[in-house]
Structure 1
Amino acid sequence: MADVLSQSEIDALLSALSAGELEPEELPKEEEKQKVKVYDFRSPQKFSKEHIRALEVIHDNFARIISNYLTAQIRRNTKVKIETVEQITYEEFIHSVPNPTIMMVFKMIPLNGSVLFEMNPTFSFKIIDILLGGSGDKVHVNKEFTDIDKNIIYKIGSGIIANLKLAWEDVLSIDTEIETLDTNPALNQTLAPNEAVALITFSAEIGDNNTFLHLCIPYLSIEKFLDKLIMQNWFRAEDSSDNDIAHENIRHGIDEVTVNVEAELGKTSILVDDFLKLTQGDVLMLNEKVTEPIKVYIEDELCYCAKPGTIGKKVGVSILDTIRKDVEGDE
């Protein structure tokens, strides 16, 4: 860092410049320092900050969904919230996972490859204990997972993974398909050690205990759909051409609607015997006066008041008023 000049030193320099005793080129200059940013080629940053932010928003909604799901399944108040979203290598993720644990490998169609969902032993055994009638108070359980344990937690894990469809529906339409359930993470070789992954960490609070869940999404799986993770695209308005097409389709659909329209001049009642004796020229007296408007029905619903007349050589009606039954009903 350059030395800070006192006021007396500044005055001396200005005086020397004014007297010509010192040329401007002779003033000491601060050495230019080149900023260097460290970059690890073994762990390239493939997810941008925008992608990470989008994943955080999507899975924050996912956390709320599975909170309700777990609460309903185990009949205990469960709070799940997202903690971090970060990019690491697959090797770093595997080394951070305990052994044994519950590692579910599944597909997110149409994404490529496999996605991993890890439920640590504390969470898994707590869920199993509650579902088997226990209190779920045991925090640390040091044992291997039995086949019964795996079957129980498999159903819970499958339900959690299935809820990803709801969390992603506004971004991408996906389907989930469970492939395997492993308890030894070291045996899982679905990805290369240096492959970049997005690691999403959730905290699950059941009672007084906090445990963690991890969702590991490989970069290769989501690479073709990175444009879906640009949040500006979620709120982008449609092109005017698309709007014009939509309006034309709506108008065209309305044009093809056929409805039954009836204009009622009035009503009367006669005996069947009189009806059978009717001949041309007979007159029937209706219950409406000539000066009163007639009723117009649309699909048997009274909608308008009108007056009869002619349109060219055809008989027609002229609409006088609209009958708003819904308004009258509200009043």
Structure 2
Amino acid sequence: MSDNVLSQAEVESLLNAMETSAEPAKGPAAPAADTGSPARTMRGKDKVTPYDFKRPERVGKDQMRALQSMHEGFSRNFGAALSALLRSIVEVKLTSVDQLTYSEFVFSLENPSCFNLLVAEPLEGNLILDINPSILYPIIDRLLGGGKESTPASRRPLTEIELTLVSRISDLFLIELKDAWENVLPLDLRVVRVESNPQLVQIVPPNEVVVLVSFELAIGDVRGMINLCIPFNSIERISNKLTANTWFAYGSSEATPESRAALGVHLDKAQVELDVILAETKISMEELLDLRVGDVITTEKDSRTPLQVNVNGTPTFQAFAGAFKGRKAIQIERSYERKKPGV
């Protein structure tokens, strides 16, 4: 026997029919029923939203917006990192950030699946990272050197070799997730257990509220979901930090000495092209063709005038020519003085 759910309009029709059938039985009191007709009309216009006490909305709207903003940036960074790992274009898109019970989350997953149990210190409890087999096996195929052809996802638990390859994906996910949460709370993330049957893992009571962050991955024509499950009791203590203002302040935060030092290390290794302009003059083509080794070209440049030093083609310094340990050299005196327009 199938369960039929009545719509709101059908429920109101049944209520009106019951009240209409009950009016003749009241006899003389029937006119009084007409005075109640406006109430029935008003009830028909009101839209009543059912409230399920098993699914209270415990995470506020500000916190949900902050989580959505954080993981939108995370999806872009994770997509770029995964594309570099697989050497293929991977699109990662945040599809939803919802509140639901843990039992609803577990029973919505496929079995078998790649169910990763995470520890995110200093958050309490555990988090869940679920990778759908429909996208996981194509990723494994790419890591093993497979082509672009799409094959049906296998419905079996992962082998030991496949688990080792999956760890590269989950580790990459955790690295980008740590960066996304850095402005809210520094996390120490790691995988402590991998299960194929989601129903064998119960990190919270079935009716406990969790935040489900869902991402859609696309590699060519193949698509699949990755879900991050965050129990409410894990983020309850830091709910005051999960605000949109905290997240948006990330872009305007001042540089720390550590970040400047890290940037300086990368800049020190950068390759640049350096050239020095000794002088400029004009000669005829005939004079140019007659030049020989040892000839001297006279210019109007004074030897006491500093030379122009270009870095990657841009005038940057002024220097003087000289020699150092028997080799031609320049001594930088000051930064290049650019002439203001109109001077």
Of 225, 236, 244, which residue of structure 1 is paired with 2:238? Answer: 225
Q: Residue 72 of structure 1: SS of its match in structure 2? A: helix
Matched residues in 2 for 1:150 and 1:68: separation?
22
Based on CA coordinates, which of the two structures has the bigger radius of gyration?
A: 1
- Are residues 1:99 and 2:107 paired? no
With 114-123 and 150-159 compared, the bigger mean Cα shift is at: 150-159
> 1: CA distance between counterparts of 2:168 and 2:93?
21
TM-score by length of 1: 0.61
What is the root-mean-square deviation in Å for CA atoms of aligned residues?
Answer: 2.5
Matched with 2:123 is 111
CA contact (8 A) 1:105 1:114 kept: yes
User: Unaligned stretches of 5+ in structure 1?
Assistant: 1-26, 237-323
Q: Tell me, what secondary structure is at the counterpart of 1:141?
A: coil
Q: Letter of the aligned partner of 1:326 in structure 2?
A: S
Report the identity percentage: 35
Distance 1:179 1:28 in 2: 63
Contact kept? 1:139, 1:209, Cα under 8 Å: no
Cα offset for 1:150? 1.1
Question: Are the counterparts in 2 of residues 154 and 181 from structure 1 also a CA contact under 8 Å?
Answer: no
- One-letter identity of the residue aligned with 1:39: Y
Shift of 1:325: 4.1
**Contact map agreement 1:61 1:167 (CA 8 A) in 2:** yes
**Structure 2 Cα separation of the partners of residues 200 and 28 of structure 1:** 48
SS of aligned partner of 2:152? coil
Instruction: Calculate the TM-score normalised by the size of structure 2.
Output: 0.59
Q: CA deviation at 1:116?
A: 0.4
Give the letter for the 2:226 counterpart. Answer: L
What residue number does 1:47 align with?
59
Classify 1:48/1:326 alpha carbon distance in 2 versus 1 (closer, same or farther; 3 Å). same
What's the counterpart of residue 171 of structure 1?
184
**Would you say the 8 A contact 2:124–2:233 is kept in 1?**
yes
Task: Give the match's secondary structure for 1:228.
Answer: coil
Q: Which runs of 4+ in 1 moved over 6 A?
A: none
**Equivalence for 2:220:** 207
Q: 1:29: how far off?
A: 9.6
TM superposition shift of 1:232: 3.0
Q: Which residue of 2 aligns with 1:80?
A: 92
Aligned residue identity for 2:107: H
The equivalent position to 1:62 in structure 2, one of 74, 90, 109, is: 74
Q: Which residue of 2 aligns with 1:275?
A: none
Partner of 2:238: helix, strand, or coil?
Answer: helix
Q: Is 1:182 aligned to residue 211 of structure 2?
A: no
Matches for 1:234-249 after TM superposition, within 5 Å: 234=247
Match of 1:326 among 312, 335, 339: 335
Which of 161, 165, 173 is matched with 1:152 structurally?
165
Query: Is 2:154 aligned against 1:141?
Result: yes
Aligned to 1:120: 132
Q: Count matched residues.
A: 218
The aligned counterpart of 2:275 is none
Q: Is the 8 A contact 2:212 2:228 kept in 1?
A: yes
Residue 30 (structure 1) shift: 4.2
- The superposition leaves residues 278-297 of structure 1 with CA deviations (integer Å, 9 ceiling, x where unpaired) of xxxxxxxxxxxxxxxxxxxx
Distance apart, 1:192 and its partner CA: 0.9
